[in-house]
Amino acid sequence: MEGMIDFITGVVVNSSATGEVVLDCGPFGVEVVLPTRELELVEVGVRLRVYSIVRISVESGAIRAIGSVSRDDRDSMAALLEIPGIGPKVVLSMFSKLGGDGVRQALGAEDVQVLSSVPGLGAKSAGKLIISCKGKGFPLAPKEGAEVVSRPVASGVASLESDAQRSVVSGLIGLGWKEAEAVAKVIAVSEECDKSDAGAIMRLALKTG
């Protein structure tokens, strides 16, 4: 059984190499598990916003929250968790290994080889996952050579080029920045570093804040 608390905001108390992050949310602390590649955006003592999925074990009553600093990635995680046989461990492993854009691109390209490189997801399971995602209308990247419908030029977060940039924007918003300011700052500092390096983008954004 699962539900959605849209986001959890608090000051980071501690984090672990396996993705567990504890947030001080006033009178109580909340543990949220993130994809490990997002840990470079986590700093003890800094306020962080996490878009979450709360899962409640029917058998034990235990409550566990997983999520991402990116709303888009959280929504993709939630969609994957609706597929039979896909649990939080596999979903977190997918986003830790490939990142949100990587997961969506691999599914859209039906790339079994890339998906099966995820720990806990073999070739057979990856093939079933691709079929299940197509049946459920999971948001997939277009296949190479497929016709792409022309759309208006994106603005705001949608205009950013990489998953790393979007993750940093979400992190800055969690620190109290306005979305427009966060997007503008990320675009500006991305000219000075690798657009796929979330840690470098975040450090430059905070340094030049």
Condensed to tens digits (0 to 9), the pLDDT of residues 72-127 reads 899 999 999 888 888 899 999 999 999 988 998 888 888 889 999 999 888 888 88
pLDDT tier at 139 (50, 70, 90 boundaries)? low
The residues spanned by each domain of the chain are 2-68, 73-136, 156-208
Q: Is the pLDDT of residue 206 over 50?
A: yes
**Mean pLDDT (whole number) for 140-148:** 43
- Tokens representing 133 are 């995602």
- Tokens read off for 160: 């950013």
Q: Of the ranges 75-79, 151-155, 159-163, which one carries the lowest mean pLDDT score?
A: 151-155
Q: For 132-161, what is the mean pLDDT? A: 53
Give the closest residue to 98 by CA, choosing from 128, 81, 78, 120: 120
| DSSP assignment of 142-181 | PPTT------PPP-GGGG--SHHHHHHHHHHHHTT--HHH
Class of domain 156-208: mainly alpha
Q: Is 90 exceeded by the pLDDT of residue 202? A: no
Residue 40 gets which letter from DSSP?
A: G
Q: Does domain 73-136 have CATH number 1.10.150.20?
A: yes
Fold of the domain spanning 2-68: OB fold (Dihydrolipoamide Acetyltransferase, E2P) (2.40.50)
**Helices and strands in the chain, H and E counts:** 7, 6
Q: Structure pTM? A: 0.66
Q: Which residues of 129-152 are buried (b: 16+ CB within 10 A; e: fewer)?
A: bbebbeeeebebeeeeeeeeeeee
Distance CA 7, CA 188 (A): 27
